[in-house]
Structure 1
């Protein structure tokens, strides 16, 4: 069995304060880590910062995401950078700070979360009339993100649930690898991947046919056998399949057995049993 690449979700969010420099550095130190997945959006000044939630005052298992509050895109960069993550001394980094700390031997999956706007059309295939409009919304932020990524010598992969973001990436920096993130509609995910010639597709863990996971509820996908065999479909189209987000080694085992290319995981070591067998 070919071992899938391990992608550290927010720097192994189950083992470290997510999307922080410390999490990224620790993840990069592990031999198993092929890539680190992070989330980016702008502070009020437009500077790309690494944080998942739109608001600084989100929560994880009852603990505040940070000790600050408000929409990230409306908050001064100094306040964002001073915000402590999940009750630790780690703070919200800029994209530049995080990339500077990561060795170029490890890739970085930059998920484009928000360009600093509302009404982004989440996981939706846009009509031709909407595509130019949505690309224009995303382009200024994508310009800033690409400028930071250009200084990183390692592999960069851009991913997003938003068609406008992928359109902007292809327009601004077609030389980078791109991936369509899939929510509840596999047909739409592949349609968007084809439209922008995405090298990869990122489905949720229960979207992989022929696994027990396919019969569970997760994210936007129902507990039914998928109508599309994502792995076979992607192979036919020459796309890589990176699945999100795995919490146990049993889940990892199921997906590895189906031949996915990469697995986005919350905890390190989930693929160790496979590699030792």
Structure 2
């Protein structure tokens, strides 16, 4: 089996998602070569790694990420909700995650934006990745077509990916229109026919979020090139390292 393991928001099944603790736990598993993270901008323009537009679910703070200064966010607890052992975990900056992952993990960086929610997000991420010398180790993905187009305008050397969760439409056509070579798709939207067609065109596919062994086997049976994005890379290891 060649289906690569992608740690979803780090090892988020065991550690608080999108924290340095989750990143370290993913790195500790030698078979994890990829990780998916989510990036937004603080009010003062710092790219931070957090999934929700609101702080409420994964921190002890309240309100929208876009309305918070970075220093304010740094004081929040982003770990206690997952367990006492993670009390004091912070919302990390993208720079911190890149520094930790450099040379260890490749990254699928999802730009969490819609429309003009985060002016300058694409440039901030591109500049940081280029400064860290990690352009070849990342793919920048988004649901937002505008964000993907802006990435190509700012630096066409970056690999881009469309995140797709629609029950209808033609993802292959959309990928072509946007110049994307990567598709991030819900596992229940993926079919063997689509997987084969895209793989033959050189498009890399990542299926999310696949947490049960039975589902991992189902997805892997479609095509050996499909990347399996999971909160539970340990389950992936139990299945594929014994196959």
Asked if TM exceeds 0.5, the reply is: yes
- Kept in 2, the 8 Å contact 1:138–1:168? The answer is no
Matched, 1:271 2:239: no
Q: Which residue of 2 aligns with 1:146?
A: 126
Matched, 1:235 2:199: yes
| Range that drifts further, 11-20 or 101-110 | 101-110
CA displacement at 1:195 relative to structure 2:
1.2
CA displacement at 1:138 relative to structure 2:
6.0
| Range that drifts further, 100-109 or 5-14 | 100-109
CA distance in 2, matches of 1:138, 1:56: 16
CA displacement at 1:201 relative to structure 2:
0.8
Residue deviations 1:181-210 (CA, integer Å, cap 9, x gap): 001145343332111221111110101226
Q: Which residue of 1 aligns with 2:84?
A: none
Q: Which residue of 1 aligns with 2:160?
A: 178
TM-score normalised by structure 2 residue count? 0.89
Q: Which runs of 5+ in 2 are unaligned?
A: 81-86
CA displacement at 1:139 relative to structure 2:
6.1
CA distance in 1, matches of 2:129, 2:168: 29
Residue among 159, 173, 176 paired with 2:141:
159
- Kept in 2, the 8 Å contact 1:207–1:230? The answer is no
Q: Which residue of 2 aligns with 1:244?
A: 208
TM-score normalised by structure 1 residue count? 0.79
RMSD after superposition:
1.8
Residue among 59, 66, 70 paired with 1:73:
66
Q: Which runs of 5+ in 1 are unaligned?
A: 59-64, 115-119, 122-133, 211-228
Q: Do the aligned partners of residues 187 and 236 (structure 1) sit closer, same or farther apart at CA in structure 2, a change above 3 Å counting?
A: farther
